[in-house]
Amino acid sequence: MASIDKQTEAPPRIGEEAEGDSKAITEAALFEAFGGVRGMVETTVPGLVFVLIYTINRDIHIAAIAALSLSVLLGVARLVRKDTLKHAFSGVFGVAFGAVFAMMSGDAKNFYLPGMLYTLGLAVAYIATAIAGVPLLGLILGPVFKENLSWRKRNPGRLRAYTKASWAWGLILLAKSAILFPLYWWGDATQLGWVKVALGIPPMLLSVYLTWIFLSKAPPPINVIAEMEAEDAAKKAATSSS
């Protein structure tokens, strides 16, 4: 009776393991493409340092140099750890443009202007490419998933997922811009700085989460790299046999 009464663990349904693998691969690819939580923090902390120092002493040069120095140190740390170079340099260049622009103009708000313009341009690009049927997120993530552009013609489910995700990124970044630009025009540097810092990570996390939701429910990517390698191997085998 004990053996009958004992609860047995139900075996996993067919496809559950594959679905879990697909979600894990999607999560790993998103972290690789966008730098993960660490990348988000690295893009936010230099701005926090700038606004903190500027709030205390109102010295644009000291605040800008401190933010740029921290950004360089974070970039060097990535290089030492042999992380992806694009994540090491993108933050440094962004902070450098802002620092130089603020010091040359004498207006602390201009430290944030290059990043704000980049965010607005990126929002427009996401929406425009989604409307055009070539969603930017597919262009970004296609090589990461080794599917390249196969999602355009051969995998309509992933095309729909990339389109939805690109719309999500575009609208979220537009909402962020709609908050920041009025502060740039009519607010002061400290107000803009603190709001910019507060809006650094949450919109990014929301965008990545929505992208993960859309892609994890989409068909798996077609590995065109593996297809080409298999085709080359078949040609070599045919040549050697003849």
pLDDT at 117: 94
Q: What is the pLDDT of residues 155-184, one digit of tens each?
A: 999 999 999 999 999 999 999 999 999 999
pLDDT at 156: 92
Q: Which residues of the chain have pLDDT under 50?
A: 1-19
Place of tokens 């313009």: 117
Asked whether residue 32 is domain-assigned, the answer is yes
pLDDT at 18: 44
Q: What is the pLDDT of residues 20-38, one digit of tens each?
A: 555 666 666 676 666 666 7
pLDDT at 21: 54
Asked whether residue 235 is domain-assigned, the answer is no
Asked whether residue 170 is domain-assigned, the answer is yes
End-to-end, the C-alpha distance of the chain in Å comes to 67
Asked whether residue 95 is domain-assigned, the answer is yes
- Quote the pTM value: 0.80
Asked whether residue 4 is domain-assigned, the answer is no
Query: What torsion do the CA atoms of 93, 30, 118, 103 make, to the nearest 10 degrees?
Result: -30
The total number of structural domains in the chain stands at: 1
Mark residue 106 as left, alpha or beta (left: phi above 0; alpha: psi -120 to 50; beta: remaining). left
Asked whether residue 37 is domain-assigned, the answer is yes
Domain boundaries, position 216? 20-230
Q: If 0-12 CB within 10 Å is exposed, 13-18 middle and 19+ buried, where does residue 31 land?
A: middle
CB 184 within 8 A of CB 105: no
Q: How far apart are CA 177 and CA 190, in angstroms?
A: 17
pLDDT at 221: 87
Asked whether residue 158 is domain-assigned, the answer is yes
CB 102 within 8 A of CB 64: yes
Q: How far apart are CA 242 and CA 233, in angstroms?
A: 14
pLDDT at 96: 86
Asked whether residue 142 is domain-assigned, the answer is yes
